[in-house]
Structure 1
Amino acid sequence: MNQKHQEDLAHIRSMMERSSRFISLSGLSGVFAGLSALIGGIYVYQLFKVNGIDYLNDGHRLYSTNLVSELFWIGIIIMVVALVFAAFFTIRKSRKYNLPIWTSATKKMLFHLAVPLLTGGIFCLALIHYGNFGLVAPATLIFYGLAVVNAEKYTFSDIKYLGFSELILGCIALFNIGYGLIFWIIGFGILHIVYGLVMFKKYK
Structure 2
Amino acid sequence: MDSKNYQEDLSHIRSMMERSSRFISLSGLSGVFAGLAAIAGAVYVYFVFQREGIDYFDGDRNIYSPALVRELMIIGTLILFVAVLSGYFFTANKSKKKGLKIWDATTKRLLLTFSVPLITGGVVCLGLLHHHLFPLIAPATLIFYGLALVNAERYTLTDVKYLGYCQIILGLLSLFFLGWGLIAWTIGFGVLHIVYGLIMHKKYK
Q: What is the CA distance between 1:50 and its match in structure 2? A: 1.3
Provide runs of 4+ in structure 1 moved above 3 Å: 58-62
Give 5+ residue unaligned stretches, structure 1: none
Counterpart for residue 165 of structure 2 = 164
Aligned to 2:72: 71
Return the TM-score normalized by structure 2.
0.96
Q: The residue matched to 2:142 in structure 1 has which SS?
A: helix
Q: CA deviation at 1:63?
A: 2.7
- 1:132 matched to which residue of 2? 133
User: 1:38: which partner in 2?
Assistant: 39
2:89 is matched with 88
Counterpart of 2:102, as a letter, is I
1:90 partner SS: helix
Please give the secondary structure, in 1, of the residue aligned with 2:46: helix
Q: C-alpha root-mean-square deviation of aligned residues, in Å?
A: 1.1
Q: How many residues align?
A: 204
* Cα displacement string for residues 12-69 of structure 1 (whole angstroms, at most 9, x for unaligned residues): 1110000000011100110000110011011111111111111111346453343222
Match of 2:148 in 1: 147
Give 2:25's aligned amino acid: S
Report Cα offsets for 1:93-120 as digits up to 9, x if no partner.
0111101111211111100110011110
CA distance in 2, matches of 1:67, 1:169: 24
Query: 2 CA distance for matches of 1:89 and 1:120?
Result: 26
Distance 1:89 1:142 in 2: 26
Instruction: Report the equivalent of 1:122.
Output: 123
1:56 corresponding residue in structure 2: 57
Q: Give the whole-Å Cα distance in 1 for the aligned partners of 2:62 and 2:29.
A: 36
CA distance in 2, matches of 1:148, 1:122: 18
Question: Gaps spanning 5+ residues in structure 2: where?
Answer: none
- In structure 1, how many angstroms separate the alpha carbons of the residues matched to 2:53 and 2:69? 14
Identical amino acids, percent of aligned pairs: 60
Q: 3-state DSSP class of the match of 1:166? A: helix
Q: Which residue of 2 aligns with 1:190?
A: 191
